[in-house]
Amino acid sequence: MATLDIIDLHASVITPEGPKPILHGVNLHIGDNEIHAIMGPNGSGKSTTAYALAGHPSYEITSGQVLLDGVDITDMTADERAREGLFLAMQYPVEVPGVSVSNFLRTAKTAIDGEAPKLREWSQALRKVTEKLRVDADFIKRDLNVGFSGGEKKRTEVLQMELLEPKIAVLDETDSGLDVDALRVVSEGIVDVHERTGNSLLLITHYNRILQYVKPDYVHVFAGGKIVRTGGPDLASELEASGYDSYIEAEAK
């Protein structure tokens, strides 16, 4: 159980030409055990929000605050935030040659818990989640994300979440590029962790279809570097039908 407060967040992406402001005052309160969805046009700053929350070194928070369970994590490093219980499933997971999936998972678990998991329990947990996510035993011996299909990368993100059990998980387009079967498996994994651990979820998506499985309490429209509208689950279907044009126009004024 945990809460996340994003308070008037302004952030820039660091580019070779210098910092480029992208977020212009994001405000969001996520309560215990809540599911929030963010939808919005390409380039509006959704992934930037995810990276800024996770403490990615290429992004700079220029003002505002992020509180996890009331603890100010704004100036923490990415690994400190992870130890506080924050998890980011990236839109484009990074390939790590030379590090196997299973090694990576065990290293991450050890770093977050502060001690290595017991071998026997760890093997059991690993077997359980790989079966559930329908990945075979050889899969976790492969180098992390190297040559993985889009679907395999997304499954690996959910595998991490299953084993790390974060208090707050930010899932950036974890549903993109999945066929219907993979979408169901991934969605069921997300719901399973949510129900088992009582975590809170921030789901960034373009599609209502994942929200049929992972049912949001709130849906937010993101445009021009901030949240411009908040509604209930029905807002997702409305957005899918009407698009974002009216929001983009409003932001351009």
Nearer to ligand ADP, 103 or 176 (CB): 176
Closest approach, Cβ 140 to Mg ion, in A, equals 27
48 binds, among Mg ion, ligand ADP, none (CB under 5 to 8 A by kind): ligand ADP
Closest approach, Cβ 174 to Mg ion, in A, equals 11
Q: Are 200 and 168 in contact (CB under 8 A)?
A: yes
Q: Please pick, from the candidates 20, 127, 141, 215, the single residue that binds ligand ADP as defined by CB under 6 A.
A: 20
Assign 3-class secondary structure to 62-83.
EEEEEEECCEECCCCCHHHHHH
Site for ligand ADP contains 43 (CB under 6 A): yes
The residues facing 67 across adjacent strands are: 5, 72
At residue 192, what are phi and psi to the nearest 5 degrees?
-60, -45
Stretch in the footprint of ligand ADP (CB under 6 A) among 12-20, 60-68, 81-89, 182-190:
12-20
3-state secondary structure at position 22: strand
13 binds, among Mg ion, ligand ADP, none (CB under 5 to 8 A by kind): ligand ADP
- The residues of the shown chain that bind Mg ion, judged by CB under 5 A, are 33, 46-47, 91
* Distance set, CA 156 to CA 30, 35, 42, 86, 159 (Å): 25, 21, 24, 17, 5
Give per-residue burial for 52-62: e unless 16+ CB within 10 Å, then b: bbbbbeebebe
Site for ligand ADP contains 243 (CB under 6 A): no
Closest approach, Cβ 8 to Mg ion, in A, equals 21
Q: Which residues lie near ligand ADP (CB under 6 A)?
A: 13, 15, 20, 22, 42-48
